[in-house]
A and B are shown apart, each in its own frame.
Chain A
């Protein structure tokens, strides 16, 4: 079955960068867009952007343009999300999620999430 396994929790200092990985299995990695969504502690969900694993093309939410970078390595079916210039407000669980074929705006399944804590 389709499964997304994310990297572990990270603790970073303000101003640093973090790179979260998302390893896919159970389907053709290059066939479906990968989205990234984050959730601050006790808060709601926030869409960050997507990457087309086939072409490497990306689309970022305006808020994240200039400080998020989404990449992929098709040889190991893994997508990456790198966030730079971290601030305390970036403390959140970061999820990857697959968009099923022809899906617009819904994601299934999701990875287990990766907690990123930004603290001095």
Chain B
């Protein structure tokens, strides 16, 4: 089971919007609405930002939103803030014996 494909880095200025893509196959992203997104600051544990493609857990800012089209899921961060600078990982349920697969990770830089 290969990792889901994400861009290595995305950057934006404060206040702007950025979008991170997560591309998989019909066996994972495209086949199930079980895509989640995690934010990870250096030296810290991941924190879930989006689950089930577009649902935000309680306490997560509404500046974070998720969507999916075909085999590609996306995370959009609007009104970019300095605190959003972190690594972001997507994840999906998969029909393979691995069950869950993560993305390659994207480093978000706030310029």
Query: A residues engaging B (CB < 8 A)?
Result: 35, 37, 44-47, 59, 61-63, 95, 97, 103-113
Q: Are B47 and A110 in contact (CB under 8 A)?
A: yes
Shortest C-beta distance, B94 to chain A (Å), equals 9
Provide the bound-state CA to CA distance between A61 and B104, in Å.
Answer: 18
Question: Could you say which residues of chain A place their CB within 8 Å of the CB of B3?
Answer: 44
Q: Are B93 and A44 in contact (CB under 8 A)?
A: no
Q: Are B48 and A106 in contact (CB under 8 A)?
A: yes
> Which residue of B has the minimal Cβ distance to A93?
B45
Provide the bound-state CA to CA distance between A54 and B25, in Å.
Answer: 34
How big is chain B's contact interface, by range? 20 to 34
Q: Are B99 and A47 in contact (CB under 8 A)?
A: yes
Q: Are B93 and A105 in contact (CB under 8 A)?
A: yes
Query: B residues engaging A (CB < 8 A)?
Result: 3, 32, 34-36, 38, 45-48, 51-52, 57, 89, 91-93, 96-105
Cβ-defined partner of A111 (8 Å) among B45, B103, B105: B45
Q: List, sorted by A's number, 28 A–B pairs whose CB atoms are closer than 8 Å.
A: A37-B102, A44-B102, A44-B104, A45-B102, A45-B105, A47-B91, A47-B100, A47-B101, A61-B97, A61-B98, A61-B99, A62-B97, A97-B46, A104-B34, A104-B93, A105-B32, A105-B35, A105-B51, A105-B92, A106-B34, A106-B48, A106-B52, A108-B47, A108-B51, A108-B57, A111-B45, A112-B45, A113-B45
> Which residue of B has the minimal Cβ distance to A96?
B45
Q: Are B102 and A46 in contact (CB under 8 A)?
A: yes
